[in-house]
Amino acid sequence: MPPRRVLLATGLAFALGALPARAARQLRIGYQKSGSLALARRQGGVEAALRPAGATVAWTEFPAGPPIMEALSAGAIDIGYAGDAPPIFAQASGAELLYAAATPGGSNAAILLPPGSTLQALGGLKGRRVAFARGSSAHNLVVAALETVGLAPSDVQPVHLAPSDAAAAFRSGAVDAWAIWDPYCAVAEAQPGVRVLARSADIAPENTFLLVSRAAARADPELVGLAMRALGESGAWAEAHRDELAQLLSETTGVPLDAMRRAVARAHYGFAPMDAGIVAQQQAIADRFARLRLIPARITVADALWHPAS
């Protein structure tokens, strides 16, 4: 098998080829299908914040957190948003990224069972095919869930798939379980016969993070600060306007409104500073990954914190 760095470089090549060329004084932001950054793009608040400084914004959609971290590491974007596991894997591989803020305590992911499954408990996953995106927050959910019943990652057959491919495998019965986040989770839950085996809220409540490349933080801290404030305002608006948010995200993503309402109702959108408690939670996940040798060595999350200019 080719080295992981070769696989990551190969997998990133197509995505980077589709990214726009950088304009003068521009911030490039990577976002996912729904959530705070998808809303911010729709609202235009970041553009408004950067316009007086003569700067523009370029947005690029990604299917999951790991490719966003790859793009940050490669210098293809400046700001990204991801769950708990992607920045840990990225930091462990030497990526030059910084945690800027967190959305604490998400509960919008689950391990799902397809129609006809006879599994009743997490212990039943032993030897089964479990789909999830490698290095994603769903990866952490699977690892943490298995740990609660005394199982190791090696006790299941991991099927590493991006969300769209995993959805197809799940529908066809090619996998026995699927660990996934919203809105994909909310869409799948609406299918007849689909059951929830475990929810992240009960296993591993997830923090999500705004991250910035060290290069961008160093080269133009003013723009990064302006963007972070605008993204914070967008997140605060989302917390207070959930019905309107569900409508906007449904229109933007094409996800059915009922599924988006379900996803929005159980999500958090506001951003909080990277305080000691959040750093400790993230460090505990990193330590678990190191102990299980999912990353090559222990990392120190506190070494990768953004300290904005006062």
User: What are 197-241's pLDDT values in tens digits?
Assistant: 999 989 988 899 999 999 999 999 999 999 999 999 999 999 999
- Comparing 43-47, 107-111, 165-169, 299-303, which segment has the lowest mean pLDDT? 107-111
Q: pTM of the prediction?
A: 0.86
DSSP letter for each residue of 222-258: HHHHHHHHHHHHHHHHHHH-HHHHHHHHHHHH---HH
Element of type H or E holding 195: strand 195-199
| CA 139 – CA 85 distance, rounded (Å) | 7
Domains of the chain: 4-106+206-304 (3.40.190.10), 109-203 (3.40.190.10)
Query: pLDDT tens digits for 37-54?
Result: 989 999 999 999 999 999
Query: pLDDT tens digits for 123-144?
Result: 999 999 999 999 999 999 999 9
Tokens, residue 16 = 């980077």
Mean pLDDT of 74-79: 96
Residue 130 near residue 155, CB atoms below 8 Å: no
